[in-house]
Amino acid sequence: MAERRGECLWKKHVAEQLKLRDREQRQAFEEIILQYNRLLEKADLQAVLSERYQADKYDVQRGHESSAADSSRSDALQQEMAQMRIRHQEELTELHKKRGELAQSVIELNNQIQQKDREIQNNEAKMLEYQQQISSLEGDCRELRSCLQDLERANQTLKDEYDALQITFSALEEKLRKTTEDNQELVSRWMAEKAQEANRLNAENEKDSRRRQAKLQKELADAAKEPLPIEADDDIEVLTEDAGKAGGETSPSRLLTRTPSKKISQQPPGGLLDSISLMFGYVGVCVCVRVSVCMSVCVSVRAGSGSSVLDHLAHSSALSLSLSHTLTGHSGKVLSARFLLDNARIVSGSYDRTLKLWDLRSKVCMKTVFAGSSCNDIVCTEQCVMSGHFDKKVRFWDIRAESIVRELELFGRVTSLDLNHDRTELLTCSRDDLVKIVDLRTNAVKQTLSAQGFKCGADWTRVTFSPDGSYVAGGSADGALYIWNVLTGKVDRTLDRNHSSAINSVSWSPSGAYVASVEKGSRAILWSDM
């Protein structure tokens, strides 16, 4: 407590003392010093101002002293005015200059403005031009686009048409395929039927032949019982010597027999033909008769005008002469057939332009060769088969190689081929009415035989060598049988009286004494004394 009081005491004392001090030392003088300092500042300012005024006054006084006392004031004024005038003139000139400069700048600016205007006009003109260009280009563009659209449309229509045509085409193809299939089916069925028919016919023929055989046997048996009188005019005529045109040489002087087909007659020595005619009672013309060495007979018959042809083969012993077998295969009429030399094979030529090689043991076609033209006649040697064709060519085939060795061209359709006895010469007859003898070693035409009246009447007109090769016999379209002498090349004999229609084929007998000829009018004539 005392401390507190004590504390307060000295603190209060201190505080009081400070306040006292301040009152004495500060507050008493503060205001005075402030005012004093202000006055001091003012005094300084006044001093400065008065100095300046003194200086001015001094200057002015100096000016006054130089001029007269009275007119000092007016002179001063005049001077002042002069000075002012000078100053004003200077200002004026300056202003004039400035005005000139401004005018100049104005002119320049005007020029610039004009230039700019011109430029603007140019630009506008260009812009106009460009706009026109643009519009024209736009027009072109539109046109092109429309063109394009049209083309597209046309293309589209074409495409559609194409598609439609494609569809129709495929449909038609389909139809065609189907029809071809049907056609083939039908053809095969027809072929089958025809084969059946052929078989049937074969069977019938067999039956028929057996029946005939039986009948014949019965008749023979009957005939053997009674003697037969020989009748003079029973289809046998004896011709006089001057029947044919004579060439001064030996010629057949007598016609031995004239036998119509389809007639039963006795057995003459040359009764081969009879039996042939007896056996084959077919509708058709007996085209040719070939006699093989062992007396098997192969007959090719043209049956009507149909294209399916039956090639009839007769295997027989020397005297039986019964129909042994039928070989089918050709699709056109068979115009010629030959035994190959080994007698086991047959080569046939047909209208269907093929040559077929048949095997007799297996009785099937072994080879088929495409000849290029319908084959009219065939002859064969050991290695070579020669065929005469519609296209005026004689083709020489190698049997083993089945290929053409040689071709020989003639001037007319080849209708007949024949080989001589020693197979060195080939006899050809062609539609140009020429009979040519070709040397097989040189392959050149050795001799040409012709006759004035000799006309090759058909494509299958046959000419033939005599067995000794010295004579050639051929039948003409007018029914005359011509005999040429090979050595002389001239017509030896003409036998023209007995055939009434075109002679199709002739054949010499192996002995050379007889010649058989057949004509279109279904007649065969056997000539003797050759």
Partner 1 sequence: MADDKDVLRDVWFGRIPTCFTLNQDEVTEREAEAYYLLLPRVSYLTLVTDKVKKHFLKVMRTEDVEEMWFEYEGTPLKWHYPIGVLFDLHASNSVLPWSITVHFKNFPDRDLLHCPSSSVIEAHFMSSIKEADALKHKSQVVNDMQKKDHKQLWMGLQNDKFDQFWAMNRKLMEYPTEEGGFRYIPFRIYQAMSDRPFIQKLFRPVSPEGNAYTLGDLLKEMYPAAITNDGEQKRYQVVIHGIEPLLETPLQWLSEHLSHPDNFLHICVVPTPSD
The distance of closest approach from Cβ of residue 40 to partner 1 in the complex, given in angstroms and rounded to an integer, is: 6
Judged by CB under 8 A, the stretch of 25-33, 83-91, 435-443, 454-462 that binds partner 1 is 25-33
The answer to whether 288 and 505 are in contact (CB under 8 A) is yes
Pick one of 23, 28, 99, 215: the residue that binds partner 1 (CB under 8 A): 28
- Site residues for partner 1, 40-99, by CB under 8 A, read 40, 43-44
Shortest distance (Å) from residue 57 CB to partner 1: 20
CA separation (Å) from 259 to 71, 186, 285? 200, 44, 14
- Segment 358-397, which members bind partner 1 (CB under 8 A)? none
Backbone phi, then psi, for 270, in 5-degree steps?
-95, 45
Choose, by CB under 8 A, the member of 17, 149, 157, 383 that binds partner 1.
Answer: 17
Residue with tokens 């090769």: 469
Question: Minimum CB separation from partner 1 for residue 60, in Å?
Answer: 25
Q: Could you say which of 15, 203, 364, 366 contacts partner 1 (CB under 8 A)?
A: 15
Pick the stretch among 24-32, 141-149, 379-387, 495-503 that binds partner 1 (CB under 8 A).
24-32
Nearer to partner 1, 25 or 188 (CB): 25
Q: Which stretch binds partner 1 (CB under 8 A): 11-19, 127-135, 209-217, 289-297?
A: 11-19
Which of the ranges 19-27, 232-240, 347-355, 516-524 carries the binding residues for partner 1, by CB under 8 A? 19-27
Q: Please give the Cα distance from 463 to 475 (Å, whole number).
A: 7
DSSP calls for 207-240: HHHHHHHHHHHHHHHHHHHSPPPPPTTSS-----
Taking residues 246 to 285 in sequence order and writing x for each that binds partner 1 by CB under 8 A, - otherwise, the string is ----------------------------------------
Nearer to partner 1, 30 or 138 (CB): 30
Candidate list 1, 32, 221, 319; residue touching partner 1; CB under 8 A:
32
DSSP 8-class letter at 434? E
Cβ of residue 50: shortest distance to partner 1, in angstroms?
A: 12
Task: Supply the minimum distance, in Å, between the C-beta of residue 3 and partner 1.
Answer: 10
Q: Which of 23, 24, 103, 150 binds partner 1 (CB under 8 A)?
A: 24
Give start and end residues of each alpha helix (H) in 240-340. Answer: 272-279
Residue with smaller CB distance to partner 1, 37 or 104: 37
Question: What distance in Å separates the CA atoms of residue 28 and residue 36, rounded to the nearest whole number?
Answer: 14
Rounded CA-CA distance 488/508 in Å is: 20
Q: Which is nearer to partner 1, 8 or 191 (CB)?
A: 8
Cα 430 to Cα 444: distance, rounded to the nearest angstrom: 16
Which of 278, 319, 321, 320 lies closest to 298, judged by CA?
Answer: 321
The 10 Å Cβ neighbour count of residue 421 is: 13
30 near partner 1, judged by CB under 8 A: yes
What does the radius of gyration of the chain's CA atoms come to, in whole angstroms?
Answer: 74
3-class DSSP state for residue 405?
A: strand
- Interacting residues of 153 by C-beta distance below 8 A, sequence separation 6+: none
Task: Tell me how far, at minimum, the Cβ of 25 lies from partner 1, in Å.
Answer: 6
* Contact flag: residue 10 with partner 1 (CB under 8 A): yes
Map 5-61 to HEC letters: HHHHHHHHHHHHHHHHHHHHHHHHHHHHHHHHHHHHHHHHHHHHHHHHHHHHHHHHH
Does residue 176 touch partner 1 according to CB under 8 A?
no
Residues in binding contact with partner 1, number by CB under 8 A: 27
146 is a site residue for partner 1 (CB under 8 A): no
With CA atoms as reference, report the closest residue to 452 among 430, 480, 471, 472.
480
Smaller CB separation from partner 1, 47 or 107: 47
CA angle 427, 334, 417 (to 5 degrees): 0
Specify the residue, 48 or 172, whose C-beta has the smaller distance to partner 1. Answer: 48
Summarize as ranges the residues that interact with partner 1 (CB under 8 A): 6-7, 9-11, 13-15, 17-22, 24-26, 28-30, 32-33, 36-37, 40, 43-44
